[in-house]
A and B are shown apart, each in its own frame.
Chain A
Amino acid sequence: MIVDKLQQLGQHSIAKIQGMGRATLMLFGALIAWPTPRKSFPLLLKQLYVVGVLSLLIILVSGLFIGMVLALQGYTVLSKFGAEQMLGPLVALSLLRELGPVVTALLFAGRAGSALTAEIGLMKATEQLSGMEMMAVDPLRRIIAPRFWAGVISMPLLALIFTAVGILGGHLVGVDWLGVDGGGYWSAMQANVDFQQDILNGVIKSVVFALIVTWIALHKGFDAVPTSEGISQATTQTVVTSSLAVLGFDFILTAVMFGG
């Protein structure tokens, strides 16, 4: 009985490690080649549109609401201590350090990550990837690489847009609705937000999340069992695994950046 359980655990661990190995090989194969600007640039541009621009709406709306909620909640607590003028830094720091990168990554995993997995999984199921290989075109370079770079470039930008819109949302609720002083909102923010400590660290976080989410999404699609059930499972796994990975890595990065 115990031996069986141990055996299962061992098999499961080996399968996981093999999966990680395949994911690493896939990424290595996609990124090893020197890109040819004539072919690679139009492909990258198209993916930046699909992965980045099409995610803009969900990022803008979510950013706005999260900024508004932050201001509302923050005001309730701060006003008890007569510290309403610190609303600006509260909203900005929460968004720059945590919510911007993390929520953007979670939304990105749901919106763009799942779409990437389903697209590549379906290309595999309909033999498009094999067909490409037989036409002497490497699918890792033609399909995976531009999508990977598009994710890595667009997510930090989306996180910055999310944060900016969130700060505006905070202003909308805090200043325009609840009556906090507008000048104080901005000046306290300017005085308390440090470029390297807060903005740069937030950008670093979102670059790390972009690498993780895009990599997981592409690998799950590329490794999917080429059936309708396999693709649906792979899509779910992309959202679940990348969301958990983002939250886990967020803790590690926060501990390293702000812990001491």
Chain B
Amino acid sequence: MSDILVDIQHLTFKRGDRVIYDDMSMQFQRGKVTAIMGPSGIGKTTLLRLIGGQLKPEQGKILVDGQNIPQLSRKDLYKARQKMGMLFQSGAMFSEMSVYDNVAFPIREHTRLPEDIIRLMVLMKLEAVGLRGARDLMPAELSGGMARRAALARAIALDPQFIMYDEPFAGQDPISMGVIVRLIRSLNNALGLTSVVVSHDVNEVMSIADYVYVVAERKVIGQGTPDELRAHPSALVQQFLQGQSDGPVPFHFKAANYSTELMELAK
């Protein structure tokens, strides 16, 4: 069994005429937490959708456990997805179902287990994320952090091989942020998962990731363990890690010369 669970080779993806990824390659190791960081709007969520087969690339291979996702038939793709879990930024809880039914949903859809076993499984998953007591609440009654944890319980309901987190820390208060950081790491270790975290929260990501890719300008601009990245020579990587407002990524959006424009207005 190869050490690499997800192998992205020479990926090119466009939206209309806009190139999102240009000949990009990356690998996610089995049993590790790999993070993908980068400025907003560079298509980090798009990458997760490509891995999940919701989008098809122009070129390149996306191998998940040896299977090339873009070339799978519909039936095989759905089978492959049963081994993946995805935590959406919004949580994507089904609003008309209780937390319990949300977590039970994938189990009921994909197995024919009796209700008492499903109940056992759901309670175990809810216990893992600390929400066993919230099973009867509706998604609208949960706080943002709780909704994300409930969605996490649903994502691991069928014990997937690997799980993708889309901006798991965005918009969280420090306590729920700490809870989610702990959960990602502990679930990864306890369940033997492979985790992919897409985020731009540098500190949180650096604290849990085994390996980090920094993506910008349509490709990987830096990669390595968190320590290696901190010593990375690229100015762009350093600007991103340290959150500097100006640098290779300019503060100003591309525009005509300021003084020329003002003078023209004065004429």
Contacts and interface: CB of A to CB of B under 8 A. Distances in A.
- Answer whether A and B are interacting partners: yes
B78 A138 contact: yes
A130 interface: yes
Contact of B82 (A126, A128, A136): A136
B50 to A, nearest CB: 12
Interface centre among A123, A133, A135 (most CB of B within 10 A): A135
Interface string B138-177: 0000000000000100100000000000000000000000
B106 interface: yes
Given A127-B88, A130-B54, A130-B88, A135 B94 contact: no
A131 interface: yes
* Most chain B beta-carbon neighbours within 10 Å: one of A133, A134, A142: A134
Contacts of A123: 95
Given A126-B95, A128-B95, A134 B90 contact: no
Chain B contact residues: helix, strand, loop or mixed:
mixed
A133 B82 CA distance: 10
B94 A128 contact: yes
The residue among A126, A127, A136, A137 with the most chain B CB atoms within 10 A of its own CB is: A136
Q: Chain B interface: which size bin?
A: 20 to 34
Contacts of B230: none
A134 B81 contact: yes
Contacts of A128: 92-95
A192 to B, nearest CB: 48
Given A126-B92, A127-B88, A134 B110 contact: no
Contacts of A131: 86, 88, 92, 94, 151
Contacts of B109: 39, 135-137, 142
Contacts of B94: 128, 131-132
B95 A134 contact: no
B14 interface: no
Given A130-B54, A131-B86, A131-B88, A136 B95 contact: no
B52 interface: yes
A135 B54 contact: no
A127 B110 contact: no
A136 B81 contact: yes
Contact of B92 (A39, A130, A136, A138): A130
Contacts of B92: 126-128, 130-131
A232 B139 CA distance: 23
B182 interface: no
B79 A136 contact: yes
B52 A134 contact: yes
Contacts of B90: 126-127
Interface in B73-106: 78-79, 81-82, 84-86, 88-90, 92-95, 105-106
B54 A134 contact: yes
Contacts of A134: 52, 54, 81, 84-86
Interface in A104-151: 122-123, 126-128, 130-138, 142
A122 B94 CA distance: 11
Interface of A: 39, 122-123, 126-128, 130-138, 142
Interface of B: 49, 52, 54, 78-79, 81-82, 84-86, 88-90, 92-95, 105-106, 109-110, 151, 154
30 contacts: A122-B95, A126-B92, A126-B95, A127-B88, A127-B90, A127-B92, A128-B93, A130-B54, A130-B88, A130-B92, A131-B86, A131-B88, A131-B94, A132-B94, A133-B81, A134-B54, A134-B81, A134-B84, A134-B85, A134-B86, A135-B81, A135-B105, A135-B109, A135-B154, A136-B78, A136-B82, A136-B106, A136-B109, A137-B106, A138-B78
Given A126-B95, A135-B106, A138-B78, 20 more contacts: A122-B95, A126-B90, A127-B88, A127-B89, A127-B92, A128-B92, A130-B49, A130-B88, A131-B88, A133-B52, A133-B54, A134-B52, A134-B81, A134-B85, A135-B109, A136-B81, A136-B82, A136-B109, A137-B106, A137-B109
